[in-house]
Amino acid sequence: VIALDGSYNIWIVGFSFIIAYFTSYQALGLTRRIRSSTGKVMWGWLLVASVVMGCGVWTMHFVGMMAFHLNITVDYQILKTILSIVASVIASLIAFYVSSSEMTQTKLFLASCFMSAGIVVMHYMGMSSMLNEYMVISYNPLLWTASIIIAFIASYVSLRLFHRMNNTYNTKALKYIAAFMMAVAVTGMHYVGMESSSFWCIDPNYLNQAVNHESQYTLLVTVSAVVVITIFLTWLAQYWEQSIFKKMAYTDSLTGLNNRHAMNEIFKETGRNTDNIAVIFIDLDQFKFINDTLGHEIGDMLIQTMGARFNSFSSSSNTVFRIGGDEFMMLNYYRTKEEVSSLAQNILEEIRKPFDITGHKFEITGSVGVSYANEHGVTRNSLLKAADTAMYYAKNRGKNQYCEYNEHMETVVIRRMEIEKGLREALIKKEFQLHYQPKWNIETNKPIGFEALLRYTHPTLGIITPNEFIPLAEETGLIIPISEWVLQKASMDCLNWNRESDSQFIVSVNISEKLIESKMLAPLTLKALQFSTLEPRFLELELTEQMMIHYGQIIPEQVKPLTNIGVNLSMDNFGSGYTFLGSMNQMPFQTIKIDRDYIENYEVPTKKAVVNSLIELARQLDIKLVAEGVETKPQMDFLKDAGCSVMQGYYFKKPMPLKEVELWLKELAI
Ligand code: C2E
Ligand code: MG
């Protein structure tokens, strides 16, 4: 048996260290992603990191072997070579898996065990793969043990540093050091392991043979291939991650549509070439209501369904976005404007289609605004703003419609914004006023009560009519605190009149449908009655016929606690909706108010007939009747002859401020 001489090529040794360092650095970097992901993605990262690490250890070993020259022919057994790489990958996988979750001392220890075991097993399997029938290896037990200890300690330090890295700021430096330590674990183990081994030749015939170039060549090719695969894998994983992140960053998670960021990106791409671009802005009209009443889960599902419906409009010339909340947008390359308007119509139709979400059946509408790049500005902001303004305008005009932008809208929208701001301030500064219009009984020639009508004067825009500011207050939700104030103020004023003139006036307050929607009617009314100590029978709530049509199902339960204690209900603007005549007696109304339109046009035969039959109906159902908007004597005479005795209108008195009401009441008493 002859001892064999081994010698090292120091350059290749250095190269082997660089490989170990590079792959450790990559693999450790990849393990960070394992922590930040879950499920399949987590396993994907785990696999990539372990393949990179395993291949790194393997490559280092065989490059190290290339640096080592023995004066004997060396061959490598393919099967063992492959097995050694598999072992290395599996050990890395277990080590990374253990260290991927919340790190504890035990886990750190376990991970280091697996990591170093991988390195050691890989090394000694690699060594045994070069054995053949004329060669043996013996190991120095001390150095052999030292090689294992080095692998363990260096892995431990590396993993520990790397774990620290996630919790400190100085991450870059730590990552370099951690990778360095891992490289020390791999190369240190290898070369100390090599030191511990002595090579012996059994058959002197094989001695001093020339280097087997073919074998060295195969090894070189294999090693290079593995290095390339490692680099490719790392690159692929990073590319994949980037594209996933990009997709995530530009996709709305709820609907899968493009999001706001994607919109910015696309606008950047389109650049100046904006000739035939139309921006279509879409907003759902009743989304907030559904979200508030049916819950966010249903709201989310509604948005999802809506997103899918809108997605059907996606094409090479039409991109769909969800901007946020219930706002969607389409960017359309059009040929003719007719195309755009028919698209807008189709969108509205799509929104109107009934929904059935987990048993909740409902229908909603949307408002759509359109702007054209070549008319309304080429910059993204001006285009979006124009479409947004047009959408607001459509909403303002009664929803469920689309509007194309024009400059006039700008003034309308600015005015709205100013009024909205003014309303908020008025609420704080208590700048609202109530005017009162009497309801006159022509039989007794006395008022039976007053309707409270809200008045608001804007600091710069002047008097704003309720028909303008009430819808705005409703849209912004301000109507709730405003109504709270109206109910309290009207109740207190009524209490004062009744106390001073010793009469029994009823005060009527107009109720917004938003109070019904938000279920605030009963609580606010009860609060006002408690606050003012007005007897409930002196308060009347005016609900419009339109409200009965829309909220007929939920109104009875909401007014019940009020009618139970004696609060009166009146149906305002009766006749404007027609639908209610039939079921009139099923509703807890004491009074109906004939819509002003009938009084104004009482000479039109059909209107006359309706008024006559209404009066007859009220008589039979024992419901009180009030005619509103009586302006002239002929109107009054007609109503009187038809049998209506309570009237309200300019003919008797215009709505007046509180002071005037008090004076007027004093005069009446005289
Ligand atoms: P409404 O309930 O139908 O109120 C009657 C409206 O008719 C009042 O207009 C009143 O000034 C007007 N009016 C009364 N007599 C005549 C007449 O002889 N001829 C004409 N042409 N008009 C007459 P106003 O005060 O502008 O209120 C408009 C609407 O605003 C009200 O219609 C009501 O729906 C709403 N509103 C007013 N105050 C409040 C409030 O405090 N809360 C809520 N939610 N709505 C209110
Ligand atoms: Mg009214």
- 8 Å CB contact between 549 and 577: yes
Residue 209 has pLDDT above 80, yes or no: no
Residue 379 has pLDDT above 90, yes or no: no
Nearest CA among 86, 94, 148, 90 for reference residue 116: 148
Dist. CA 544–CA 575, nearest whole Å: 10
| Mean pLDDT, the chain, integer | 88
| Mean pLDDT (whole number) for 484-505 | 94
* Residue 512 beta carbon below 6 angstroms from any ligand 1 atom: yes
* Residue 573 beta carbon below 6 angstroms from any ligand 1 atom: yes
What does the pLDDT read at residue 221?
81
> Measured from the CA of 454, which atom of ligand 1 is nearest?
38
- 8 Å CB contact between 324 and 257: no
CA dihedral 528, 530, 534, 540 (to 10 degrees): 40
For residue range 580-613, what is the model confidence (pLDDT) as tens digits?
A: 565 666 677 889 999 999 999 999 998 898 889 8
What does the pLDDT read at residue 541?
97
Dist. CA 409–CA 376, nearest whole Å: 12
Q: pLDDT band for position 487 (50/70/90)?
A: very high
* Residue 467 beta carbon below 6 angstroms from any ligand 1 atom: yes
Dist. CA 94–CA 118, nearest whole Å: 9
Burial 322-353 (b: 16+ CB within 10 A, else e): bbeebbbbbbbbbeeeebbbebbeebbeebee
What does the pLDDT read at residue 396?
81
Dist. CA 243–CA 254, nearest whole Å: 19
CA distance between the termini of the chain:
141
- Give the other-Cβ count within 10 Å of 266's Cβ: 15
Nearest CA to ligand 1 atom 19: 629
Nearest CA to ligand 1 atom 42: 510
Any idea what DSSP says for residue 519?
A: T
| Mean pLDDT (whole number) for 166-186 | 79
Q: How far is CA 348 from CA 90, 482, 550, in A?
A: 58, 32, 20
Q: How far is CA 269 from CA 170, 266, 274, 349, 380, in A?
A: 38, 5, 10, 31, 11
For residue range 313-364, what is the model confidence (pLDDT) as tens digits?
A: 999 999 999 998 999 999 999 999 999 999 999 999 999 999 998 888 888 9
* Residue 631 beta carbon below 6 angstroms from any ligand 1 atom: yes
> Measured from the CA of 593, which atom of ligand 1 is nearest?
3
Of 73 and 354, more confident:
354
Dist. CA 154–CA 184, nearest whole Å: 6
- Give the other-Cβ count within 10 Å of 204's Cβ: 10
Q: pLDDT band for position 378 (50/70/90)?
A: confident
Rounded to 5 degrees, what are φ and ψ at 508? -105, 135
What does the pLDDT read at residue 578?
59
Name every residue whose Cβ is closer than 8 Å to that of residue 50 and which is 6 or more positions away in sequence: 27, 89, 90, 92, 93, 96
Residue with tokens 């009066």: 615
What does the pLDDT read at residue 170?
62
Residue 211 has pLDDT above 80, yes or no: no
Nearest CA among 280, 295, 276 for reference residue 335: 276
What does the pLDDT read at residue 414?
86
What does the pLDDT read at residue 169?
56
Dist. CA 118–CA 93, nearest whole Å: 10
Dist. CA 135–CA 132, nearest whole Å: 6
Nearest CA to ligand 1 atom 24: 466
* Residue 649 beta carbon below 6 angstroms from any ligand 1 atom: yes
Using left for φ > 0, alpha for ψ between -120 and 50, and beta otherwise, residue 400 falls in: left
- pTM, full prediction: 0.58
The alpha carbon of 570 and the centre of ligand 1 are apart by a number of angstroms equal to 14
| Mean pLDDT (whole number) for 556-567 | 94
What does the pLDDT read at residue 131?
73
Residue 304 has pLDDT above 60, yes or no: yes
- 8 Å CB contact between 635 and 651: yes
For residue range 445-462, what is the model confidence (pLDDT) as tens digits?
A: 999 999 999 999 999 999
What does the pLDDT read at residue 553?
80
Nearest CA to ligand 1 atom 3: 573
What does the pLDDT read at residue 212?
60
For residue range 642-660, what is the model confidence (pLDDT) as tens digits?
A: 999 999 999 999 999 999 9
Q: Judging by DSSP bridges, how do beta strands 568-574 and 539-544 pair with one another? A: parallel
| CA angle (548 as vertex; 586, 434 as ends), nearest 5 | 115
The alpha carbon of 630 and the centre of ligand 1 are apart by a number of angstroms equal to 13
> Measured from the CA of 512, which atom of ligand 1 is nearest?
44
Axis crossing angle, helix 407-429 with helix 466-476, rounded to the nearest 10: 80
Any idea what DSSP says for residue 638?
A: H
User: Mean pLDDT: which of 15-19, 140-144, 266-270, 435-439 is highest?
Assistant: 435-439
Nearest CA to ligand 1 atom 41: 454
Of the listed ligands, the closest to the CA of 541 is 2
- Give the other-Cβ count within 10 Å of 449's Cβ: 27
Name every residue whose Cβ is closer than 8 Å to that of residue 328 and which is 6 or more positions away in sequence: 257, 281, 282, 283, 306, 307, 310, 320, 321, 322
Return the best residue to mutate from 456, 484, 510, 573 for the ligand 1 pocket (most ligand atoms within 8 A of CB).
Answer: 510
Return the best residue to mutate from 453, 511, 524 for the ligand 1 pocket (most ligand atoms within 8 A of CB).
Answer: 453
Of the listed ligands, the closest to the CA of 508 is 2
Residues in the chain: 670
